[in-house]
Structure 1
Amino acid sequence: MKYFIATILTKGKKVEHGFYAENKKEAHYLAKIKFSGMILKMAESSPPFKDQLRHFKESLFANIKKRKLKQDSLIASIRQLAVMANAGISIHDSLKEIADATTDKTLQIVLGTLADDINSGHSLSHSARKFSFELGNLSLAMIELGEKTGNMAEALHKLADMLEEIRRNIIKFKKAMAYPRNVMIAMAIAFTVLISYVVPQFKTIFEQLHAELPLPTKILLFLEHLFNTYGLYVVAFIFIFIFTFKYMIDHYRDFRYKWHVFLLHVYLIKNIIMYATLNRFTLVFAELVRAGIPIAEALETSIAMIDSLPLQERLYTVRSTVEKGGTLHNGLAETGLFENMIIQMISAGESSGQLDAMMQKVMEYYKMRFDAIIDGLSEAIEPIMLLMIACMVVLLALGIFLPMWEMGNAVQGRR
């Protein structure tokens, strides 16, 4: 969020008002709603310290209160809304009906607020942007598609299908991660128990040796001292670090951008992010093109729903190329994200006038690649898991037995 100062002419006097907004366009819109009078000037500025403190508190508590909607409840509600919209029931009445019927409190608040905003004259897409955290970028894109095409029921049906697909992928991901996760948790617990209760038993023996201890033993003794003396502080530090890290990602775009760049260089994670992003981008773009939305506008909507900022930035160059009169396949080729085969397919689709059908095939290809990565996730993680387990076992074995061997050799030497 950026801080803007609006200079308003009211009752013959110039008055300055400071407030937060996403951009200058939204700042003008908010100023018209909030303040009476003529807007003379709108300038971005640094907020005063009091406003910084107040905004920090508000965003902090808002971040704590935020709750993701249960996917099952969201998908069921979207399907209900699609059926009711197809039956000719107004969106306002449909939202009210579903909000009253649901038992999910968060969903009830979201749908109730959407209904009230629509009743006040706002569009569904405009109101839904306030709940981007709860609904997700994909839902916002498909709602916008429904409004542009005038067929909200079909857009909502397709949205429910896409959310179901994403949910299935998440379930597959969790199942693939279950075994490695459980093994690593068990090893972490075992390692903590050994460090906290077993290593101290050897500590007194090591102290009696009065000899230079090997490096593995020094590491074990340091960990034992850290866990047993500052254990609670370590746990508190970990929680504070996680909370601070999450707050920085949620509220500082530069920090979030650097984190996303880092993730795109991490083994295995980079492929999951890459193919998940391309799959979702081509999925929404194919639907928009099939619905007859102009390519530049379809790109704008499809790219806006991408979570990875570096990938979003690279794909925005495609929109610039198309707006300047370039072809779609040349714009996609310049990003370096798409394989030559995909570029040739899109080029053929543009030439033949069947871009929507070709984009559908591209989307199916990326879906296949993403599914293959998820299916092979467990096997890909196993070498890392085995390496970590081996390091823990070697550290414990060498840390405990090396001094014992040296002590045994010393005893034999004296004899």
Structure 2
Amino acid sequence: MARYSYRAINALGDVVKGELSALHLPDMQAQLKAAGLSLISSKEVKRRVIKLSGLPQRELINLLFHMQMLLRAGVPIVSALEDLRDGADSVELRQVAASLIDRIQNGSTLADAMAADPGIFAEVVVHLIRSGEVTGQLPEVLEALVRSLKWQAELAAQTKKLLMYPAFVTITISGVVVFLMVYLVPQLVGFIVNMGQEVPLNTRALIWLSNAFVNYWWLILPAPVVLGLAVSIAARTSERLRFRLHQALLDLPGVGPVIKKIILARLADSFGLMYRTGIPVIEALGYCEKLSGSLPIQRAVARVRERIATGTPISDAFAVENLFPSLVVRMLKVGEATGALDDALANVSYFFNRDIEESIGRVQALIEPVLTVTLGLILGWIMLAVMGPIYDTISKIKA
């Protein structure tokens, strides 16, 4: 549907200017005639399409929640978006609402309007919205989407919680070691060497390491960052390397099982949501494959999808893959037997969610003493390497 600006004459002979949406020029003339206006001239308005590269997760949840509440109350889509466009605190959110209004007024459905901004609305969100529009259950779909996105945001926060403490302590330990090697140890080494006695092996190793830090700090300090970037670039270009890195992450002691549970919980939640809204199983698993973000799990889901497409029951297709715990397979069997597969998947997500919280607590409780002992060993070695020769010299003087 196009947008036209016009000049027309009313019954009193006054010139009236304005804009309206119409399928084509004759449709616009018919609308003006019905309003008692005679067209003088018109011109199609080329409307600027607003495109954004992204929207914070919290703002996306606010957008969907706002639409869900107003649509459930019977407010039309455009009016709900206009309320958001005029009243939202976020500039990005107002722009997204204005962009959706523009596309809907030009004849797009809500799903098509969202699909025009793939950087904001994920493909699975678009398809869920389209399913809700087709089935007439858009408010219910929006409610389920809001719940799912909130839950995924909580999972992301738990993942950060799991990784931030070890990262912080590791950086702190690295900073302490660099300070000791660059500033403190060189001052003590000169005193030890001037004592004139034989330097023990661990002290010679400490001196060598300290000299390396002093002379090549410009090479040592950026080395971890450069190595990380090199591995990241190589992983982007090599799917085989990326698969091995993802598999190694899943196999990490302590952390790997928790990350695997987080991925599987999100997969079960998304699969259940799409199944509940009427998206076919094969298509839903295709979207789940893209959502997982882990190549080993992506390939496992792809193999599951191929088996189901050839007639294998869903639970049997999952049971073949070792990546999926027996709990997932059992719940899928129950869901297939009772015809409530979406409820079974919701139970899997709930179980994983509770297990993830407990697992994160256990991993953090394990990481703290491990990092503390590591720091103690490093500091103990440095102190032994420095104080050992001094103690030996003092002992000889007393003797």
TM-score by length of 2: 0.72
Among 280, 304, 319, the residue aligned to 2:305: 319
| Unmatched 5+ stretches in structure 1 | 1-65
Q: CA deviation at 1:82?
A: 2.4
**Partner SS state of residue 251, structure 2:** coil
Q: CA deviation at 1:301?
A: 2.6
Q: CA deviation at 1:131?
A: 5.8
Change beyond 3 A, Cα 1:89–1:129:
same
Q: Does structure 1 residue 392 correspond to structure 2 residue 363?
A: no
Q: Could you tell me which amino acid in structure 1 is paired with residue 150 of structure 2?
A: E
Question: How big is each residue's C-alpha offset from its partner over 1:331-357, in whole Å with a ceiling of 9 and x where there is no partner?
Answer: 010112333344233223312323233
The RMSD of aligned alpha carbons is 3.7
Q: Does structure 1 residue 404 correspond to structure 2 residue 390?
A: yes
Q: Does structure 1 residue 167 correspond to structure 2 residue 159?
A: no
- The answer for the alignment partner of 1:281 in structure 2 is 267
Q: Distance in 1 between matches of 2:142 and 2:239?
A: 30
Q: CA deviation at 1:164?
A: 1.8
Q: CA deviation at 1:262?
A: 1.8
Question: How big is each residue's C-alpha offset from its partner over 1:194-237, in whole Å with a ceiling of 9 and x where there is no partner?
Answer: 22321121121233256664454344334433443343444444
**Partner SS state of residue 320, structure 2:** helix
Q: For the Cα contact (< 8 Å) 2:155–2:262, is it kept in 1?
A: no
Q: Does structure 1 residue 353 correspond to structure 2 residue 339?
A: yes
- The answer for the alignment partner of 1:191 in structure 2 is 177
- The answer for the alignment partner of 2:280 in structure 1 is 294
Among 296, 313, 330, the residue aligned to 2:316: 330
- The answer for the alignment partner of 1:376 in structure 2 is 362
Q: Does structure 1 residue 229 correspond to structure 2 residue 181?
A: no
Q: For the Cα contact (< 8 Å) 1:281–1:302, is it kept in 2?
A: yes
**Partner SS state of residue 293, structure 1:** coil
Q: Mapping of 1:137-152 within 5 angstroms?
A: 139=125, 142-143=128-129, 145-146=131-132, 149-152=135-138
| Unmatched 5+ stretches in structure 2 | 1-51
Q: Could you tell me which amino acid in structure 2 is paired with residue 155 of structure 1?
A: V
Q: Does structure 1 residue 76 correspond to structure 2 residue 62?
A: yes
Identity %: 24
Q: Distance in 2 between matches of 1:250 and 1:68?
A: 22
Q: CA deviation at 1:135?
A: 5.2
**Partner SS state of residue 264, structure 1:** helix
Q: Could you tell me which amino acid in structure 1 is paired with residue 186 of structure 2?
A: P
Q: Distance in 1 between matches of 2:305 and 2:145?
A: 24
Q: CA deviation at 1:328?
A: 0.6
Q: For the Cα contact (< 8 Å) 2:132–2:277, is it kept in 1?
A: no
Q: Distance in 2 between matches of 1:103 and 1:368?
A: 34
Q: CA deviation at 1:323?
A: 0.8
Q: Mapping of 1:258-269 within 5 angstroms?
A: 258-269=244-255
Change beyond 3 A, Cα 1:182–1:303:
closer
Change beyond 3 A, Cα 1:170–1:356:
closer
Q: Could you tell me which amino acid in structure 1 is paired with residue 215 of structure 2?
A: T
Q: For the Cα contact (< 8 Å) 2:255–2:363, is it kept in 1?
A: no
- The answer for the alignment partner of 1:343 in structure 2 is 329
After TM superposition, the structure 1 stretch with the greater mean CA deviation from structure 2, 318-327 or 196-205, is 196-205
- The answer for the alignment partner of 1:205 in structure 2 is 191
Q: For the Cα contact (< 8 Å) 1:137–1:305, is it kept in 2?
A: no
Q: CA deviation at 1:159?
A: 1.8
Change beyond 3 A, Cα 1:354–1:135:
closer
Change beyond 3 A, Cα 1:202–1:324:
same
- The answer for the alignment partner of 2:28 in structure 1 is none
Q: Could you tell me which amino acid in structure 2 is paired with residue 309 of structure 1?
A: L
Structure with the greater alpha carbon radius of gyration: 2
Q: Could you tell me which amino acid in structure 1 is paired with residue 256 of structure 2?
A: K
Q: Could you tell me which amino acid in structure 2 is paired with residue 348 of structure 1?
A: V
Aligned residues between the structures: 348
